[in-house]
Structure 1
């Protein structure tokens, strides 16, 4: 009995309707259209990740002067949780929470005299966000997707500012079509901080499985990856390119009560291996190259904001290790 209860708990915290791994069926007028395709892995419900970006240099220019330094280690802890709220054939909702904290360690931090560098060394960049995922399948080959996300980014524990000064919100609606069990695609728009600043841009999602082992998963411009799995589906390998972006409200100077905004965006080229430990428990190892797009301080979060500190970062090696929970196979049969 206790094992069965544990399995039900795992399913509750692992199932996610946006990526639901239900039995794949053709979209006809007698069944609801399922967006997934053959070969996709089971959804991740609980994820704990540790990431490290290795040494890189930073050069900064501003009206108050220029400076440069060496970042010896850029570390990040991340926790994600997703669980279903409504699971009906014609409508599904999942909710999630995501928290991460990012730390920067400079070479010879005692010699730092540039305010921006001292701020990064002494304060972590933090984010806590809630997410809602909705799927509306139809009895044709069409389906609708919606993702809502909102939360606090930056030094939101500061007592000098209201919490709404740190609030960031994003929304992504899409409309999709499933051609067959091996191909689905969708189009939409995103209002988010994917490029570091608050902006609106188009989304194109395309999933294609060549067979049960090989496939392509993409949602452009955020991610595109080539997938390969072993026949027993206990190992998954990916070659992928990702766009990472976020915007943080931070205080640059201890003596001033003015907030500035860090526009952070980068592109990553990664190789990933995910391996089953025990049915519902998996681990992942990932490594590759991170190339900076933007790491600038601005006077606000909009696309037309004025840059206060212009930063240039070298490319750097990045790697991470994660452990995550998926639904047990017997509960999906």
Structure 2
């Protein structure tokens, strides 16, 4: 009886194994082409490299510049005025309007204030600057358009009103500046992308047209760089995906309108600043990140002109070789995933 049971068990197991092999062969012979060819799907380049700093959707920061001198201010004779500090809030908003593999389109708004505190204000120009500060408010748009898996286009444009405004009604067309950038690029890998283009910008305080180099590269898990020359450039150290230190610089600036009792009734302050700095980004919770900056504010340009977009010295009201203080900034950012 035991022999019959063993024989029956052997036959049952053998039949099961044969059925499994037959089923596997049937699966191997199945024609997947009926469902389409995955290799035929078109792929597109993404806008970032691995370990790059996250894109900011909402940003709110406070910046402080330490004391410095403002020489050469016309005051019969020219005088040097002491600025005890410049401080103010900076806010920025970037909202994705379209975000898919074929197109990323963002609309944004920004507001910056630089509040001046002078030791003495016995001068009309200094008094207005001390009482009202410099304001910048504007809108911007950015389009990232991948052409395929390796090539992409970037378009950026912004319009700002900038001025030493005593009241809201002071805002006028003479306070408006328009900037734009166009870049054609190559995405060589998930660690390396670069592009070249041209920009119209007021970052040096005066309207200029310059060639642009974009280069974002991740060397390994710890090191990378993020360049948008000549506007800014940083060497990046990733301690982790949520703890990033950067060393580099940014060039900032714009042209500011101011009402004066002079012959033309107005002047235009062309202000440009070169900022070598250390920048630390740290994830706090979820999509909220801390940003801390510390560095040196080097005066690139502080020219007060009698005409809009003036470039020649005969239109110069006065030029000040500002001395160069340390600065710091601290802010909270809501970032994209």
Contiguous gaps of at least 5 residues in structure 1: 1-27
- The answer on 1:177 being equivalent to 2:177 is no
Q: TM-score, normalised by structure 2?
A: 0.83
The match for 2:251 among 218, 224, 243 is 243
Taking a change above 3 Å as real, the CA distance of residues 275 and 161 of structure 1, as seen in their structure-2 partners, is closer
The match for 1:43 among 38, 55, 75 is 55
Higher relative contact order (CA 8 A, sep 6+): 1
- The answer on 1:167 being equivalent to 2:176 is yes
Taking a change above 3 Å as real, the CA distance of residues 162 and 265 of structure 1, as seen in their structure-2 partners, is closer
Q: Is the Cα–Cα contact under 8 Å of residues 73 and 81 in structure 2 kept in the other structure?
A: no
- The answer on 1:290 being equivalent to 2:297 is yes
Tell me, in whole angstroms, the C-alpha distance in 2 between the residues paired with 1:227 and 1:247: 31
Q: Is the Cα–Cα contact under 8 Å of residues 297 and 307 in structure 1 kept in the other structure?
A: yes
Q: Is the Cα–Cα contact under 8 Å of residues 132 and 166 in structure 2 kept in the other structure?
A: no
Tell me, in whole angstroms, the C-alpha distance in 1 between the residues paired with 2:73 and 2:175: 25
Instruction: Give 1:35 deviation, angstroms.
Output: 3.2
Tell me, in whole angstroms, the C-alpha distance in 2 between the residues paired with 1:85 and 1:58: 43
Taking a change above 3 Å as real, the CA distance of residues 140 and 284 of structure 1, as seen in their structure-2 partners, is closer
Tell me, in whole angstroms, the C-alpha distance in 1 between the residues paired with 2:41 and 2:229: 30
Q: Which residue of 2 aligns with 1:6?
A: none
Q: Which residue of 2 aligns with 1:99?
A: 111
Instruction: Give 1:207 deviation, angstroms.
Output: 1.1
DSSP-derived class of the 1:129 partner: strand
Q: Is the Cα–Cα contact under 8 Å of residues 263 and 301 in structure 1 kept in the other structure?
A: no
Q: TM-score, normalised by structure 1?
A: 0.84
Larger CA deviation: 62-71 vs 139-148: 62-71
Bigger fraction of residues in helix: 2
- The answer on 1:118 being equivalent to 2:130 is no
Tell me, in whole angstroms, the C-alpha distance in 2 between the residues paired with 1:31 and 1:239: 34
Instruction: Give 1:194 deviation, angstroms.
Output: 1.3
Instruction: Give 1:212 deviation, angstroms.
Output: 2.4
Q: Is the Cα–Cα contact under 8 Å of residues 99 and 127 in structure 1 kept in the other structure?
A: yes
Provide the alpha-carbon RMSD of the alignment: 2.1
Tell me, in whole angstroms, the C-alpha distance in 1 between the residues paired with 2:54 and 2:216: 15
